[in-house]
């Protein structure tokens, strides 16, 4: 079974609109971390936001927020007021510690295109 599922291979959004990128995850751990990374066409991986499994508040970082619904095992990224520079691949990832070993598992990504 996929640990991280991103069901939207591609999205087109009008500039200035808000956009939600979906992410669901699968783990039996009680303690884990969820991350979102952005990968522009230049190829580097840029950290956006983090949510811990015990965090009661949804994480926010500027225009990014993470809609964390623990019971549904979802961790959707919300970008408010989208900009042309937001066009990129977006990856959801989960960090687990399994028998003392750390693992970060990525989803397959969503390609977001912002339309002027």
Measured in degrees and rounded to the nearest 5, phi and psi for residue 13 equal: -135, 140
Closest CB to another protein among 53 and 87? 53
Stretches 12-20, 37-45, 62-70, 72-80: which one binds another protein (CB under 8 A)?
37-45
Identify residues 49-78 at the interface with another protein (CB under 8 A): 50, 52-53
Query: How big is the site for another protein, counted in residues (CB under 8 A)?
Result: 27
Q: Answer yes or no whether residue 86 interacts with another protein by CB under 8 A.
A: no
Closest of 41, 45, 39, 47 to residue 66, by C-alpha: 47
Closest of 30, 32, 10 to residue 22, by C-alpha: 10
CA distance 115 to 110: 16
Q: Answer yes or no whether residue 44 interacts with another protein by CB under 8 A.
A: yes
Residue selected from 7, 31, 60, 113 as contacting another protein according to rule CB under 8 A:
31
Question: What percent of the chain is helix, strand and coil (3-state, nearest 5)?
Answer: 5, 55, 45
Q: Answer yes or no whether residue 112 interacts with another protein by CB under 8 A.
A: no
Q: Answer yes or no whether residue 95 interacts with another protein by CB under 8 A.
A: yes
């Amino acid at each position: 079974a996929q640990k991280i599922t991103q069901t939207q291979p591609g999205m087109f959004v009008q500039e200035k609109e808000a956009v939600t990128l979906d992410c669901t995850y699968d783990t039996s751990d009680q303690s884990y971390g969820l991350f979102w990374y952005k990968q522009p066409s230049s190829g580097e991986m840029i950290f956006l936001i983090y949510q811990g499994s015990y965090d009661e508040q949804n994480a926010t970082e500027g225009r990014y927020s993470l809609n964390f619904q623990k019971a549904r095992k979802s961790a959707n990224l919300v970008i408010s007021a989208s900009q042309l520079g937001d066009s990129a691949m977006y990856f959801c990832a989960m960090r687990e510690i399994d028998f003392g070993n750390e693992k970060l598992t990525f989803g397959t990504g969503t390609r977001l295109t912002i339309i002027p």
